[in-house]
Each structure stands twice: as C-alpha cells, then as structure tokens.
Structure 1
Amino acid sequence: MKVTKGKETKIVLTKPFQLEGESDLEPSYRAPNLLHRLLSLLKNVRPGSDLTHFQLPAVFNFPKSQLQCYGESVYCTSSNLLSKCNNGQSPLDRFTSVVAWSISTTRPTSFGVAPYNPTLGETHHVSKGNLNVLVEQVSVNPPVSALHATDEKENIEMIWSQQPVPKFRGTSIEAQVHGKRQLKLLNHGETYEMNCPHLSIRILPVPGIDWVGNVNIRCPETGLVAEISYRSSHSFLGFGGSRKFIKGKILDSSLFKVLYEVDGHWDKTVKVKDTNSGEVRVIYDAKEVISGLKTPIIKDAESVWPTESALVWSELSQAIMNKDWERAREAKQDVEERQRKVLRDRAMKGETWFPKNFRVSYGKDTWEWDCSPTHKWVPEAPIIAQ
C-alpha cells in the first residue's frame, strides 16, 4: 500500500491484482467468514434478480474502485505488448499481437469481494511510460465507465465503454460486461474492435470465480477476425476440471479461412497453431506480463484531481487495509451520502450533469454506449504506474 499526503486528505493506492500467489492484497484485508456472510446477504434474493444496484457492506469490498481495476487492466503490465502490436510487420502479425494484448487485459480477481461502485463523475488518471490512461464514470444509473488512453510516441489510441450487469443465478452470480472496446493503431490506419468476457462467481458447491464467455476481435480494414472462448470446466460437484481455459481461432473473413487455432490458459500461456504449416508458437505468457507488478506512485500530489478514485475512497481504503470494519462502514456511508446529496441538489436546481472528459450518447434499446473523448490526447497524469 502507498499512502501519500494530498491537498486535504490522503491518496491511497494499492498493489494491482496479479497472478495467484503473487498479490499481497488478499491476505492483508479480507474480513473473516466471507462465504457465510455472502450466503446470509443473498438468502432473500430471488434467482434472476439484477444486482446492479445491490448495496454491499464494506466487508465485501477490496480497497479499489471499479475504475482503478478497469484502468489497471491497461496500464499495469511488466512488458510492452502495445509496442509489439504497433511494430508488427504485416497485418496478420499485428492482429495476432492485438489478440495477445486483449488476453492481457483479463486479470485475476478475488472471490467474495468486489471493488467500489464509482460515483458519478469519478475519475482515474494514470500514466505508464508514454501511455496516458483516463477513466471516468459517465453514468450511475445504469453504471457506465468510459476509458480513453493514448500513446503519442507510438500513435496509439484506446476508446472503451463498460457496463457490468450482475445477476443472481441461485448458486452463482453472473456479471455480464456490456460495451465496446476499440484499439487504434493510427500509423497503420487500423482499428480493432472487441468485447470482453463475463465474470462468473460460483458460490456453491465450491466457491470460485472465473472469466467466461466469447470474445470477438475484428479489424474492418484487414478483414481479420478472432473468435475466442473463455471456459471453465468442472467435474462432479465442481471439483477438478480445467480453469482459465482459452480456445479459439483467427481467420480471414474475406476468404472464410482459418489461419490460426488458439489454445491455452489466460493465466499461463496461450499458443497459436498455423493451420497451413502446423507450426505452434506462444503468443502470450501471463507470467511475463502480469507478474511482479508494483503499486503506482504519486508524482505530483497537488495535481491530483478531487474526483480521483484514490482520493474519493481514501478513507474507506485505509480502513479496509487496517481491518477497521466499523470505520470502513462509516467511510462508505460518508461517500454514498455525499453522492446522494449532490444528486438531490442537482435535481432541485434542475441542472443537467455532463461528463468532463467524454461526450456520451446511447440507444435506449441496446447496450451500446458511445463514449467519445473530448480531447485528442490524454494528458500526462500525476499518478505513475511503475
């Protein structure tokens, strides 16, 4: 944990989630009897219920906002996969590297706990090398986060939107993640469009958490497409089986031809097999990319925005790290009450709120939120990922 003095309060940053056994978060803050508490919390919830606005007590939070988790999946890496995407010699080389990069945004998480639901207008702004990342909560009903990241040196841009919709399934919780993601390699005039897997939280018979579902990646300019399936198979009563499994293919949609078969585990290695030559090679090694990650540092505390997640939730994060659950409860209530007061005051004045960093539009009958950045380049951030 990193605690640095800011303007009037503390900026609390924590180590990012990484491969199992490497993160120092889980053993340092988890409240006791989480499974029993979770079962008690859900005993009156009907299967099929939407849990989007379900309020979790502070003991079920880990010390991060959802915006921080979202941003970490982009800037917390120990190798520069984006540069590899940009430097590919052919469209197929670049596309294969983009597939590997997309897999790298799938990160481990912890059973029984969840990040904070961001407040309206909350932001998270971090730089890693030449990559500047900005995330903003552009809606709370429904909850929608928007991300803009740019690297002027590599001439790369990312524009994402994300809307999680968790539903209770009786013995599990399925969090569908709606929204679209774009990665633009501007030097090559290529845009890669993709979605992300869903999060499956098993409560019974064996507690666990996995990323599942289908991810489609396409580049309209080249006609290349990837169809990737995230799977988690279990034997009788949920024991054994293969977890964190990936299987799929890369194909040329104009020729209806499969070029590569994709196979592996997103927390280990992922390989592709050339359907013509039979050659097999590793395109992604999780240990090289999401291990050894360090806590971000504060470069300029005075420049941290008041809306920064690490400031908004600082008292709650500090209480969770200290296992002071009574203070955590109070701190969470303080943030939520301030948010309710702001919304009430705005409603009384008839004011319309607009995001600071995005222009937002959406179709009421679809999940497609269009979150267009208001600036071409994301500025350098006062928080630096190591």
Structure 2
Amino acid sequence: MAASEKRKSNFAPQDLSRLSEAERLQVLAVMRRAQDMDEHEETKTRRRPLEGQLYKYTNVMKGWQTRWFVLDPESGFLEYYEKEEHKKQKPRGVINLAASLVVPSDEDSQTFQVSATNGEVYKLRGVDAKERQQWVDRLRSTSEHHSANVQITRSVDQMRSKSFLSSAPPAQRSQQKSFQSGSTENVSSVAPPRAPAAHPHTIDPFREVKEYMQEAEDYSQDLTQKIDSLPHSGQEITGLDKDILLIKATSAATLQCLGHCLSMLQQKQDSHSYKHRSNSLGSIETSHDIVVPSLKINRSISNAGSIASPSGSFTSVSSLPHVIPEPKYDGPINHNEEVEDEVEYKDTDLEAVEEHKSIILHLLSQLKLGMDLTKVVLPTFILERRSLLEMFADCMAHPDIFLRIADFDCPEARMLAVLEWYLTSFHAGRQGSVAKKPYNPIIGETFHCSWKIPPEALGSSTEGRSSEKECLLIYCAEQVSHHPPVSAFYFECPEKNICVNASIWTKSKFMGMSIGVVMIGKVHLKLLNHDEEYIFSLPSAYARSILTTPWVELGDKVQITCQKTNYSAAVTFHTKPFYGGKLHRLTAEVKNGNTGSIVCKVQGEWNSQLEISYADGETKVVDVNKFKIWHKRVRPLEKQGEFESRKLWQHVTNALKLGDVNTATEHKRFLEERQREGEKHRRETNTSFPTQYFHKEEDAWVFKNMLGRRAENHSHSS
C-alpha cells in the first residue's frame, strides 16, 4: 500500500458523526496538521540516502553476484557498483525509479524485483527479510515521490500554458486557440465552441476503468476481511498460510500498481485534451480554505470555583498553607507496618466524553504537532487515580516469576526467565481498557511497598534451587528531577540476592489524534549470586483516539543484554497496522552470542497469550491473564510521610473517586504551584534538590544503599 494511502486511512474522520459542524471542522484542522507532520517526517526519512550490499541476479553468470547499491532519493536514481570502493567511479548500472514497480518475491523472504519504466527487470536479494523490507520501503517511497513529481510537472506546464493564453493579446490569443483546437476561423465564427458536456465520450474516458477498479478494490477488501477472520491455527487453512498471505499481498500490490498507472494515464490524457478546449479556459480555479471557527469554552467548566463540590469533607485548597516545604527524610521504612491492598488497582472508563469534549477540542487546537507535552497541564478528568511511581510498582504483579530468575543455574535458562518476566509484566501495569494518565510525580515524592512471597509459591526450578523460607521483595521510588521529569525506582530481595535499579525520563509528544510517551532510560537487573547484569529499556506507549474513547498500545524495539553470558533478547512491540492486523502484538527471540544460534522465538499479545518456540522444537503457551496477581503491601495513610504518593495525592484521588473533577483540579493545581515555587526558590538560591534515596552517577540515578554495595561493605567490615 502506498504511503499516501496509509496516511489518508490513518487520518480519515470515521468517528466524527456525533460532533457539531464547528467541532468537526476543528478536529479536521487538527487532523490536517497531524497529516502535515506525518508527511514531513516521511520526507525527512525519504531524503536520507541509503546504501549497502545486495545480491543481484546476472543473466551473464546465470547466478547471484554481490553489488554495492546506492539510493539517491533526491535524484530518484538507484546506482550499483561492483564494490563499495568503486563508488567514485562510473556506476555499473543506473535505475530510474520514477514510475517503477518494486515487488517482493514469493520465492523467499529475501528476494525482490525492481521493474523500471524502460522494461528492464532487476532481481535483487537482501541478507534477510528485515533488510529486504527496508530496501522495498525506501525504493517504493522514492518511486512514488518522483512519480508524483512527474505528474505535478505536467500540471504546472498546463498552468503556464493557460496563463500564457490569458495574458496574450486578443489577436494572438485567438490565433493560438484556433491553432490548438485545429479549427478554421470561419468555423469558429459560425459554430461557437461547445461545452465539454456536449461530447459524452470526452466527459471521462476512464469512467469504465474506474468502475472496474472500484469493483476490484471492493473484492480486495472483502478478501482481506475474510482472510483476517480465519483462525491462526488448528484448521486445514489458516490466516497465516503462506499461499493465503501471498494472495493478500499480491492483490494489494496489483491494485496499487494499477492505481498508479491509471493516474499517470489520466495526467497524459488531460495534457492532450487541454489543447482542444483551451478556448474555454478562463481563470484558474482556486481551492477555498476551510475557516475553522474557534470554540468558546464554558467558563463554568474550567473555573474550579464556580461549581459546588459534592466532596464537602475534603480539605479546602484555600485553607492549605501555601509554603514551600522541603520533603522531610522518611527515615527507615518499617515494612512490618504495611498491609496488603484489598483489591488490585482498576481504573474506571471515561464516562463523560461528551461532557468534556469541548475541553479536549480546545486543548487540541492549542497544541502544535510534535510538541513536548512535559510542560503542558492536561485536563484532570483524564488522570488515573495513582502516581507514576506507583504504576511502576504495579508492573511487579508477578513477583514469583521475577524471583525465580535467580534459581536457575544455566545462563540460557536465566535469560529465558528474564524475558518471560519482562513480557508478562506490562499487562498488570496497564489496568483498564481506556487510556488514562497517572499523576506526574512531584519532585521529592516517594512511594514504598513490598510483597511477601511464601516458599510454596516459588516452588523449585528444574535446574535451580528451591526456596525454603518466605521472601520479601521491597520497592522504593523517588521523583529525583522535575525538568526533565525523572523517576528513579529500585527493587530488591535479599533472600534471592536480586535487585533492579532504574531511572526513567518520560517524554510525551503530541501526534494529532494520538499522544506518544517515550520512556528514556535503562533498567539494570542484577543477579548477585551469578555476578550478572541484564540491561534493557521500557517500550514507548501510545494513546490513540484521544477525542473519543482513548486506548493504549505499545510500540518499540527493545534489547535485553547480558555482557557476561553474551546472551541477548530482541523484543519488538508492534503497533496496529492501518488495515487489518491485531492489537498488542509482540515478537521476540533469544540469541546465544557465543554460538550465534537462536535459542527461542516468541510471538503473541502482551496482554493475552504468548507462544514460545524453542530450538529443539518444543513449544510453550503462556497466558498472562491466568497468572496470579500479587497485591502489594503499603503502609496506611496515617503512617506515611507528607511526600509519599498516596498521602500527597489523597485529596485528588478522593475527588476523582466521587467524580468531582473541579475539586480534583483545585488540589492538583495547588501541588503543581507549590512545586513551581520550590523550583523558583532553588534557582534564586542556587541550590539543588536534596534527594533521599538516590544519587546521580553520570547520566543515571542509582539507589544509595544497593544490595550489592551492602554485601561488599559487610564483607570488608568482617
């Protein structure tokens, strides 16, 4: 499918029927800006040259020969040389990509063909499927761009010719018209020129072709829907059958090719027929821009004090002291005071999208595409009832899987265990079907909790040691920076000698009808008994359909590496394609760097089932929803410090539970204003914020009293 067609489908206003005309126009304006940004990003990618070694099938040798290919997107030419060192010499061959056809081969996953307009066909092959796809995407993008330029150039030539006719003297213009129309002066004076509608054959010579094309597209869409509805396993014919997928891809590619051909034929026909109707051309028709009226936001919605609050028992913001307190040191956390949460965190859906629609539309109209949303105050009603620091803790919903990592004696088994824990952690951290945003932690904010895991829950691994006593897994998190917003968190279990340290900087970006959140930073998992460290990152998250019912998907490529064992895992979180496809898909594979062999492959959905295929042919199906959710243990509010998350945000949380958005907004604004005053005070006094539990080492924040360092200090003292 062409990139332009993908963009059109992505920004098609399919769910705006319930909006008023003014709201619809405003949304369309935002979507046009989003499309412009998307096209700008694509243009930047397309303009970057691409070069590398490919295999080229040569008729002389009747076989494959390596050639060095260089794609110049600006000129639209693909050149190839015998070797990379020969790039300064004359190329062995040059392919003009304008109006060319680039098609993946059905022979294997590496071969593809480039059919140039001069009739030559080049058969090429990449090293693997990933490289082939990279070349196919870039070649197609360049071909489409230069094909469109050819059409635009022809249109400009027509416009210039039209302008020349309208500006020429009357006598010259009449002579030019007579010459172009092929008629004599007498004929033109006797028979006035007819409108094009008088000639039914010249209305649209491609009308019948367009009807056939439309019919073919309908059949193709019906075919795609039926293929997508096929089961993926267990039947004689499945949706993943090689021939079925080939039919699906071939039909889409054929329609795309026919569409390009029809477009170019229409341009050629327009250029030819223009000469015969130049006398009927007047001024150039111009398109009218849509004027988007600005919407007035109801003051009663945005003014927190204009609506009575049903939560009269809350502390009034006006009664709170507006001072700039520094967080007090929490002191040693007594985990024996913690009590288990009665129920796991489940957020409610956005029940009143219509009620808050005007606020969302107003917000969208103020944002610029690509804008960093870190400093943007978002509406309170889209908030979850928990802090980001607590959300990271909720990802540790399966501590039994995490602690079992340390029990395996084999490095390969430990990497597989790390991967399984990593892939099964996201569904628990993301609760609720609707995308909501956790509280932005206030600088100095902390969160503490723990899990107690009995020995029978850990069992014994096939290669490792069984647990004989209860294990305590503790969690400590702190907001260590405001700009940029950095959250540091730490897990440890002394009984298993395992710990995790991370500092994550969240960066949000406005993308039109969606918001992207990038998690910048690394997570370090240490197995002290094996002297191993596993390093990985967290995937980016995207909130889609923010105007109606927002939903979340993950999309990123993540590497899990262990330098000591030389094992690594590559994980890809796939975003949903524009047509068909499934939500929340991921694929992964574990590689032994010492031998270069693939240990296992994983595919499935991160919030549902994962299928693990091992090198020996065995398979394992993991259903994340069947795993036990271990509730975290947290100290009651009366025992928490003033800057611990639940106590700090308690008034906002209580108001949101009652649906009192205005009171929640008041308390949220108070906390944010107090934080800004503190930042201003520290700038004026040239002082830094005193963190409690983490200190900065280079670009990362590290827990001050890590398990490994305590063990080292204990050994030195003894």
Same-fold status (TM-score > 0.5)? yes
Aligned counterpart for 1:82 among listed residues 399, 402, 422: 402
Partner SS state of residue 675, structure 2: helix
Matched, 1:133 2:475: yes
The residue aligned with 1:373 is 703
Cα distance change of structure 1 residues 229 and 324 upon mapping to structure 2, 3 Å threshold: same
Deviation at 1:255, TM superposition (A): 2.0
The residue aligned with 2:307 is none
How far, CA to CA, are the matches of 2:379 and 2:417 in structure 1?
41
Deviation at 1:125, TM superposition (A): 0.7
How far, CA to CA, are the matches of 1:373 and 1:48 in structure 2?
34
The residue aligned with 1:167 is 509
The residue aligned with 1:366 is none
How far, CA to CA, are the matches of 1:14 and 1:325 in structure 2?
25
Aligned counterpart for 1:279 among listed residues 615, 618, 640: 618
Deviation at 1:265, TM superposition (A): 1.1
How far, CA to CA, are the matches of 1:14 and 1:329 in structure 2?
27
Alignment size in residue pairs = 346
How far, CA to CA, are the matches of 1:55 and 1:15 in structure 2?
30
Q: Is the 8 A contact 2:451 2:630 kept in 1?
A: no
How far, CA to CA, are the matches of 1:163 and 1:35 in structure 2?
30
Matched, 1:99 2:419: yes
How far, CA to CA, are the matches of 1:204 and 1:355 in structure 2?
35
Matched, 1:334 2:654: no
Matched, 1:113 2:456: no
TM-score, with length taken from structure 2: 0.46
How far, CA to CA, are the matches of 2:700 and 2:587 in structure 1?
30
The residue aligned with 2:96 is none
Aligned counterpart for 2:564 among listed residues 196, 211, 221: 221
Cα distance change of structure 1 residues 191 and 232 upon mapping to structure 2, 3 Å threshold: same
Aligned counterpart for 1:143 among listed residues 468, 473, 485: 485
Deviations, residues 303-362 of structure 1 (Å, cap 9, x unaligned): 422221001111001100111112111111111122123223333433221311111144
Q: Is the 8 A contact 2:477 2:489 kept in 1?
A: yes
Cα distance change of structure 1 residues 298 and 225 upon mapping to structure 2, 3 Å threshold: closer
The residue aligned with 2:601 is 261
Partner SS state of residue 565, structure 2: coil
Which stretch shifts more, 346-355 or 214-223?
346-355
Matched, 1:179 2:521: yes
Cα distance change of structure 1 residues 200 and 35 upon mapping to structure 2, 3 Å threshold: farther
How far, CA to CA, are the matches of 2:633 and 2:407 in structure 1?
29
Q: Mark the structure with the bigger radius of gyration.
A: 2
Deviations, residues 193-215 of structure 1 (Å, cap 9, x unaligned): 11111001222798431011111
Q: Is the 8 A contact 2:696 2:702 kept in 1?
A: yes
Aligned counterpart for 2:654 among listed residues 318, 328, 335: 318
Q: Is the 8 A contact 1:176 1:198 kept in 2?
A: yes
How far, CA to CA, are the matches of 1:274 and 1:96 in structure 2?
10
How far, CA to CA, are the matches of 1:260 and 1:170 in structure 2?
38
Deviation at 1:38, TM superposition (A): 2.8
How far, CA to CA, are the matches of 2:561 and 2:584 in structure 1?
23
Q: Is the 8 A contact 2:389 2:446 kept in 1?
A: yes
TM-score, with length taken from structure 1: 0.82
The residue aligned with 1:70 is 392
Percent identical = 25
Q: Is the 8 A contact 2:509 2:517 kept in 1?
A: yes
Cα distance change of structure 1 residues 278 and 39 upon mapping to structure 2, 3 Å threshold: farther
Matched, 1:249 2:589: yes
Partner SS state of residue 687, structure 2: coil
Which stretch shifts more, 90-99 or 33-42?
33-42
Q: Is the 8 A contact 1:250 1:261 kept in 2?
A: yes
How far, CA to CA, are the matches of 2:634 and 2:592 in structure 1?
45
Higher strand share: 1
How far, CA to CA, are the matches of 2:546 and 2:439 in structure 1?
24
Matching residue's letter, 1:311: K
Matching residue's letter, 1:314: Q
The residue aligned with 2:373 is 51
Matching residue's letter, 1:194: F
How far, CA to CA, are the matches of 1:16 and 1:199 in structure 2?
22
Deviation at 1:111, TM superposition (A): 3.5
Deviations, residues 142-201 of structure 1 (Å, cap 9, x unaligned): 001111111011111100111111111222211111100011111111111111110012
How far, CA to CA, are the matches of 2:707 and 2:598 in structure 1?
36
How far, CA to CA, are the matches of 1:338 and 1:330 in structure 2?
12
Q: Is the 8 A contact 1:137 1:146 kept in 2?
A: yes
Matched, 1:209 2:548: no
Partner SS state of residue 26, structure 1: coil
Q: What root-mean-square deviation, in Å, do the aligned CA atoms of Structure 1 and Structure 2 show?
A: 2.6
User: Where does the alignment leave 5 or more consecutive residues of structure 1 unmatched?
Assistant: 1-8, 18-22, 363-368, 379-386
Deviation at 1:287, TM superposition (A): 1.2
Partner SS state of residue 669, structure 2: helix
Higher helix share: 2
The residue aligned with 2:286 is none
Cα distance change of structure 1 residues 133 and 14 upon mapping to structure 2, 3 Å threshold: same
How far, CA to CA, are the matches of 1:204 and 1:212 in structure 2?
17
Cα distance change of structure 1 residues 80 and 192 upon mapping to structure 2, 3 Å threshold: same
Q: Is the 8 A contact 2:369 2:510 kept in 1?
A: yes
Q: Is the 8 A contact 2:489 2:503 kept in 1?
A: yes
Matched, 1:357 2:693: yes
How far, CA to CA, are the matches of 2:600 and 2:361 in structure 1?
44
User: Where does the alignment leave 5 or more consecutive residues of structure 2 unmatched?
Assistant: 1-319, 321-338, 453-471, 709-718
Matching residue's letter, 1:374: K
Q: Is the 8 A contact 1:49 1:167 kept in 2?
A: yes
